[in-house]
């Protein structure tokens, strides 16, 4: 047997270079020449050699070859060399400044044109950024010294919390110090012919054969993470610091706490209670090691002496502090859950922080100062709430005027039509098929969710309490002073819950509490919050919609229902302590189910013309339901008191085709997403077209629309159950069908079949919209099937051999990850369910739920070793693809593992000086709808000046 020796590609070798006649030549040694008394000299030497060759007309590839390295490594080395040169300039500038030189004098000495360059060199933050690669290298050395070999391949930078460039620079630094980086290709477990490439960082003296024991190779993410892009490193989560209750005061309802219920006010300038650069954040603070505060935290300047925290509550005077605070979450054994003591996920980056403290147990690796962990644990921070909402939910829009509904649905149609036309114009058939399939699936999904185009400048904002703003005002610096805005909160009951307020950005309290430029917050008073179906100031958000000026948006807002004025579900339906009457309690799982039931009831009642008193009954019940589990409310008694059964009979009762009576969703809006059981399916589906075959048999169904996605029924569709009749002893067998869930809208070919007998105008408009989306989906799939395949060109493969090899290697790596990815997805789903059970707020906070889901999949991938990395396609590789150097089958697999948005940007035809007729029409309709030039430009991928030109 031949010994398994590493190839040239297996070992990342060190190199040494020396000058010959002003140009670099081959040499040897651990370090590039030039490392002497000046610690930055080797960076200057490398740059000098590179620049000398560049002046002679050498290409980057030629220079890399002369230096005995690859272009990829050369770029890393140049980047690091530039950092070294910059650090040398920083050192010189600081020395001159210490000597008393002015900025202008330093600029003249160092050869700069002005003092702004000197200011940049003296910027402390800029200096720290330049040191990040060195900090990362030190952390890697520390890990290697304690843990052994490290996996530093694709994705390791994300586990460390630094950029790939910083990690590559750190590896370069370590290589110059004698550390070794090896590559090894290992066979996949289930497919030995395919190989996965490992990139392993090892200590000096390690031989290639040593990395054959893969159990010695560890993930960097198992041990450390950086919250500041490589400046410092800590564990991903530290058990929180506790503060003494002696530093805390409770502001009870009678003292004004009810007006700021849920707000945590902090003394400004206290190191262990800092919000960082933020004016506000949603936080958790541990108290006395057994309780915690939860809510929105802001600074206050009027706290009593000796008090650092004031917590506002709607509880009455005399309520013990332990009844106001929340108890820490405990496991089934009664012990505090050390992984999740608050029952709520803390932000992975920026959720915790460290501050200088002589008594601290941590040591800052840069300053060597001792540090302690801060007590404010952020669940969400300033800037986390303000994402632009690109859609309008039907639960709001369907309750608005017919003209507004039709306008937003028509804009959505125009968007889809424009995208379809652009996809049809693609020239690469494989990419065209891929994007058309994604487009079709997206249309089918949109027909179910029924979301419409966003209104101009609509934006989600978190609400904070201000006691000095009037009932008809709002402090909203992200909007123009004096303009009118509507607030919508979800779940949305009706137009009576929509306050329309005047922006007052002169409010002194708002400026003091929130600052003059809050990223994503507005200030309102308690009366306005109460109208928003009892919104709390503990992180609740509202959708803000400007209603005047150029927008010309008419939001229907009706007076608050008389039956809701003064209604407080927590007072009316609070179950007595200890539940002496054994009232049935709401569970976490049942909360969402019951909210879905009552939300559908309110929508159906609205569309069918229910009276205000009837609506008030349903809304009161919804307010009880949503807080029943958290505040222990008697939702069953609320159901009786508000006559919910009678409302269901009147507005949702109906007979089916067999004469059976049913209650439940009864209009198109509510039925669209309602469950529809279907026979169990298998496979990913097929397109219904004449001649289509499944398993060799004709599968075309002439009763279904051409282009619709159909599914094959499962091979194990039926199963048999047996039971023994206890009375007769007879064995009874039954054959049952396996089923799975779909939705009523997905299963119907005509959305009008879901329209109620009432036939409200909103239903008809949405039925037309859903049918349009269904037709677009079918048209896209027909176009997809009519599109040919990519013509493979053997000559192109030879011409682009390096690019083809790189793409195949990247694909092999992605494919090798699939088994672990499946395992990671299963584990992540379990974790998400656990988090939602622990934190019921997640179900209504879609943005936070997305973050929790992302964190769960990252943690699960780390645990099972899954490395999901998108294939990056370079310019040369794109040329190879377009030339036919990659087969259609292989390209399909590559496209499944790349960034679709980047792919779309490459694939779309080159921009021309003349816009298409469709884009011109969309510009005009968007402008007529009140969108700004900038918004139109962003949506169409063109410049604002181009929009102005066509207007």
Question: Of 21-35, 130-144, 566-580, which gets the smallest average pLDDT?
Answer: 21-35
* pLDDT, tens digit, 9 for 90 and up, residues 510-562: 999 999 888 899 999 999 998 997 788 988 999 999 997 665 789 999 998 99
What integer is the mean pLDDT of 317-343? 86
How big is the CA angle at 711 (ends 705 and 713), to the nearest 5 degrees? Answer: 130
| Share above pLDDT 90 across residues of the chain, in percent, rounded to a whole number | 43
pLDDT score of 347 more than 50: yes
Q: What per-residue confidence (pLDDT) applies to 31?
A: 37
The two three-digit tokens of residue 221, written as one number: 């993410």
Cα separation, 907 vs 632, whole angstroms? 56
What integer is the mean pLDDT of 864-883? 82
Q: Are 930 and 550 in contact (CB under 8 A)?
A: yes
Q: Which CA distances in Å does 196 have to 2, 157, 182, 576?
A: 22, 19, 14, 62
Angle, helix 888-895 to helix 801-816, in steps of 10 degrees: 50
* pLDDT, tens digit, 9 for 90 and up, residues 637-671: 999 999 999 999 999 998 877 888 989 999 999 99
Cα separation, 792 vs 886, whole angstroms? 7
Cα separation, 387 vs 641, whole angstroms? 40
pLDDT score of 369 more than 70: yes
pLDDT score of 480 more than 80: yes
Range of 145-149, 297-301, 861-865, 905-909 with top mean pLDDT = 297-301
Q: How confident is the model at residue 129 (pLDDT cuts 50, 70, 90)?
A: low
pLDDT score of 21 more than 50: no
For 5-16, letters b (16+ CB in 10 Å) and e give eeeeeeebebbe
Q: Quick check: helix, strand or coil at residue 279?
A: coil
Higher pLDDT, 82 or 431: 431
Task: Indicate the DSSP class of residue 231.
Answer: S
pLDDT score of 229 more than 70: no
Higher pLDDT, 51 or 522: 522
pLDDT score of 913 more than 60: no
pLDDT score of 932 more than 70: no
Q: How confident is the model at residue 385 (pLDDT cuts 50, 70, 90)?
A: confident
What integer is the mean pLDDT of 599-624? 94
Q: What per-residue confidence (pLDDT) applies to 59?
A: 82
* pLDDT, tens digit, 9 for 90 and up, residues 138-167: 778 877 777 677 777 765 665 676 777 777
Q: What per-residue confidence (pLDDT) applies to 35?
A: 38
Cα separation, 564 vs 530, whole angstroms? 9
Q: Which residues make beta-bridge pairs with 218?
A: 150
Beta strand segments in 52-194, E: 149-151, 180-187
Q: How confident is the model at residue 402 (pLDDT cuts 50, 70, 90)?
A: very high
pLDDT score of 743 more than 80: yes
Long-range pairs, 145-149, Cβ under 8 A, ≥24: 145/203, 147/218, 147/223, 148/216, 148/217, 148/218, 149/200, 149/201, 149/202, 149/206, 149/210, 149/211, 149/216, 149/217, 149/218
Q: How confident is the model at residue 450 (pLDDT cuts 50, 70, 90)?
A: very high
Cα separation, 149 vs 702, whole angstroms? 61
Cβ neighbours, 10 Å, residue 75: 15
* pLDDT, tens digit, 9 for 90 and up, residues 172-213: 777 777 788 887 655 432 333 444 466 788 888 787 777 766
Q: What per-residue confidence (pLDDT) applies to 845?
A: 60
Q: Are 543 and 533 in contact (CB under 8 A)?
A: no
- Average pLDDT over the chain reads 81
Q: What per-residue confidence (pLDDT) applies to 34?
A: 35
pLDDT score of 238 more than 60: yes
pLDDT score of 9 more than 50: no
What integer is the mean pLDDT of 283-289? 96
Higher pLDDT, 47 or 292: 292
For 683-714, letters b (16+ CB in 10 Å) and e give eeebbbbeebeeeeeebbeeeebbbbbbbeee
* Helical residues (DSSP H) of 360-428, grouped into ranges: 394-397, 402-424
Cα separation, 772 vs 357, whole angstroms? 63
The two three-digit tokens of residue 862, written as one number: 């780390």
pLDDT score of 375 more than 90: yes
Q: What per-residue confidence (pLDDT) applies to 228?
A: 54
Residue 183: closest CA among 61, 71, 73: 73
Cα separation, 563 vs 226, whole angstroms? 53
Q: 720: which residues sit within 8 A by CB, 6+ positions away?
A: 733, 734, 735, 736
* pLDDT, tens digit, 9 for 90 and up, residues 501-513: 999 999 999 999 9
Cα separation, 582 vs 254, whole angstroms? 31
Q: Position of tokens 């066509």?
A: 950
Cβ neighbours, 10 Å, residue 55: 9
Higher pLDDT, 626 or 244: 244
Q: What per-residue confidence (pLDDT) applies to 860?
A: 66
What integer is the mean pLDDT of 439-448? 95
How many helices (H) and strands (E) the chain has is answered by 33, 36
Q: What per-residue confidence (pLDDT) applies to 635?
A: 95
Q: Are 680 and 738 in contact (CB under 8 A)?
A: yes
Q: How confident is the model at residue 491 (pLDDT cuts 50, 70, 90)?
A: confident
* pLDDT, tens digit, 9 for 90 and up, residues 791-811: 899 999 999 999 999 898 888
Long-range pairs, 802-810, Cβ under 8 A, ≥24: 803/874, 803/876, 803/877, 803/879, 803/880, 803/885, 804/880, 804/885, 804/886, 806/877, 807/871, 807/873, 807/877, 807/880, 807/881, 807/886, 807/890, 807/894, 808/890, 809/197, 810/871, 810/872, 810/894, 810/897
Q: Which CA distances in Å does 339 have to 221, 237, 281, 335?
A: 17, 8, 21, 11
What integer is the mean pLDDT of 598-603? 94
What integer is the mean pLDDT of 111-118? 74
Q: What per-residue confidence (pLDDT) applies to 282?
A: 96
Q: What per-residue confidence (pLDDT) applies to 186?
A: 55
Q: Are 151 and 200 in contact (CB under 8 A)?
A: yes
Question: Of 91-100, 286-295, 619-628, which gets the smallest average pLDDT?
Answer: 91-100
Question: Of 138-147, 395-404, 429-438, which gets the smallest average pLDDT?
Answer: 138-147
Parallel, antiparallel, or unpaired: how do β-strands 280-287 and 291-300 relate? antiparallel
The dihedrals phi and psi of 375, each to the nearest 5 degrees, come to -95, -15
Q: How confident is the model at residue 273 (pLDDT cuts 50, 70, 90)?
A: very high
């Amino acid at each position: 047997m031949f010994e398994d020796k590493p190839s040239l590609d297996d070992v990342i070798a060190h190199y040494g270079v020396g000058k010959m006649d002003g140009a670099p030549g081959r040499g040897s040694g651990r370090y590039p020449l030039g490392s002497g008394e000046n610690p930055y000299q080797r960076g200057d030497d490398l740059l000098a050699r590179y620049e000398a060759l560049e002046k002679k007309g050498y290409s980057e590839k030629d220079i890399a070859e002369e230096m005995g390295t690859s272009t990829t490594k050369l770029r890393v080395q140049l980047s690091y060399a530039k950092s070294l040169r910059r650090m040398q300039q920083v050192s010189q500038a600081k020395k001159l400044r210490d000597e008393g030189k002015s900025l202008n004098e330093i600029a003249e000495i160092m050869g700069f044109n002005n003092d702004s360059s000197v200011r940049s060199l003296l910027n402390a933050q800029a200096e720290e950024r330049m040191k990040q690669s060195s900090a990362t290298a030190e952390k890697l050395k520390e890990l290697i010294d304690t843990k052994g070999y490290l996996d530093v391949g694709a994705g390791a930078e994300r586990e460390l919390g630094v950029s790939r460039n910083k990690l590559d620079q750190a590896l370069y630094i370590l290589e110059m110090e004698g550390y070794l980086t090896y590559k090894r290709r290992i066979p996949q477990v289930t497919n030995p012919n395919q190989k996965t490439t490992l990139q392993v960082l090892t200590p000096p003296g390690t031989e290639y054969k040593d990395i054959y024991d893969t159990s010695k190779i560890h993930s960097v993410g198992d041990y450390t993470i950086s919250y500041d892009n490589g400046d410092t490193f800590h564990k991903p989560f530290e058990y929180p610091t506790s503060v003494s209750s002696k530093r805390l005061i409770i502001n009870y309802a009678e003292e004004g706490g009810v007006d700021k219920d849920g707000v945590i006010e902090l003394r400004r300038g206290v190191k262990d209670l800092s919000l960082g650069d933020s004016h506000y954040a949603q936080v958790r603070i541990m108290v006395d090691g057994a309780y915690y505060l939860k809510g929105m935290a802001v600074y206050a300047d009027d706290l009593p002496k000796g008090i650092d925290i004031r917590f506002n509550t709607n509880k009455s005077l005399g309520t013990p502090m332990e009844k106001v605070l929340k108890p820490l979450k405990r496991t089934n054994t009664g012990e505090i859950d050390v992984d999740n003591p608050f029952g709520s996920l803390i932000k992975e980056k920026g959720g915790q922080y460290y501050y200088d403290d002589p008594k601290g147990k941590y040591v800052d690796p840069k300053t060597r100062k001792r540090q302690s962990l801060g007590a404010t644990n952020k669940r969400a921070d300033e800037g986390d709430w303000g994402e632009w909402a690109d859609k309008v939910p039907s639960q709001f829009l369907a309750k608005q005027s017919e003209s507004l509904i039709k306008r937003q649905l028509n804009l959505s149609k125009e968007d889809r039509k424009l995208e379809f036309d652009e996809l049809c114009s693609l020239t690469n058939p494989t990419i065209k098929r891929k994007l058309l399939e994604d487009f079709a699936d997206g249309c089918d999904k949109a027909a179910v969710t029924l979301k419409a185009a966003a209104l101009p400048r609509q934006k989600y904002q978190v609400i904070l309490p201000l006691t000095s703003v009037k009932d008809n005002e709002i402090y909203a610096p992200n909007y123009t002073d004096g303009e009118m805005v509507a607030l919508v909160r979800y779940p949305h009951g009706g137009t009576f819950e929509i306050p329309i307020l005047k922006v007052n950005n002169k409010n002194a309290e708002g400026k003091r509490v929130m600052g003059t430029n809050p990223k994503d917050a507005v200030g309102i008073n308690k009366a306005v919050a109460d109208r928003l179906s009892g919104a709390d100031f503990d992180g609740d958000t509202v959708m803000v919609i400007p209603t005047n000026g150029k927008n010309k948006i008419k939001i229907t807002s009706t007076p608050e229902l008389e039956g809701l004025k003064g209604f407080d579900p927590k007072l009316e339906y609070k179950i007595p302590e200890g539940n002496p009457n054994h009232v049935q309690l709401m569970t976490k799982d049942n909360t969402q189910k019951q909210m879905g039931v009552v939300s559908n009831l309110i929508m159906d009642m609205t569309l069918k013309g229910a009276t205000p008193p009837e609506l008030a009954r349903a809304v009161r019940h919804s307010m009880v339901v949503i807080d029943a589990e958290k505040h222990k409310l008697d939702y069953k008694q609320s159901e009786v008191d508000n006559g919910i059964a009678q409302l269901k009979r009147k507005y949702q009762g109906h007979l089916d085709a067999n004469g059976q009576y049913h209650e439940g969703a009864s209009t198109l809006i509510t039925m669209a997403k309602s469950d529809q059981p279907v026979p169990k399916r298998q496979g990913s589906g097929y397109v219904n077209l004449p001649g289509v075959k499944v398993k060799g048999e004709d599968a075309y169904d002439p009763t279904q629309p051409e282009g619709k996605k159909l599914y094959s029924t499962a091979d194990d569709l039926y199963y048999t159950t047996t039971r023994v009749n206890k009375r007769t002893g007879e064995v009874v067998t039954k054959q049952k069908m396996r089923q799975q869930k779909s939705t009523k809208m997905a299963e119907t070919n005509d959305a009008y079949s879901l329209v109620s007998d009432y036939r409200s105008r909103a239903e008809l408009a949405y039925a037309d919209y859903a049918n349009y989306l269904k037709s677009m989906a079918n048209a896209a799939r027909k176009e997809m099937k009519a599109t040919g395949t990519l013509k493979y060109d053997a000559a192109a493969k030879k011409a682009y051999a390096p690019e083809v090899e790189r793409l195949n290697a990247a694909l092999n790596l992605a494919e090798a990850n699939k088994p672990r990815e499946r395992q990671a997805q299963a584990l992540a789903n379990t974790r998400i369910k656990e988090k939602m059970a622990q934190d019921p707020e997640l179900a209504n906070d879609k943005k936070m739920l997305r973050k929790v889901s992302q964190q769960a999949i990252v943690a699960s991938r780390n645990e099972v070793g899954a490395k999901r990395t998108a294939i990056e396609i370079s310019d040369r590789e794109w040329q190879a693809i377009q030339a036919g150097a990659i087969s259609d089958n292989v390209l399909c697999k590559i496209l499944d593992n790349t960034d679709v948005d980047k792919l779309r940007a490459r694939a779309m035809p080159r921009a021309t000086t003349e816009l298409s007729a469709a884009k011109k029409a969309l510009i005009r309709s968007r402008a007529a709808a009140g969108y700004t030039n900038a918004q139109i430009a962003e949506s169409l991928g063109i410049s604002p000046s181009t929009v102005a030109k066509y207007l």
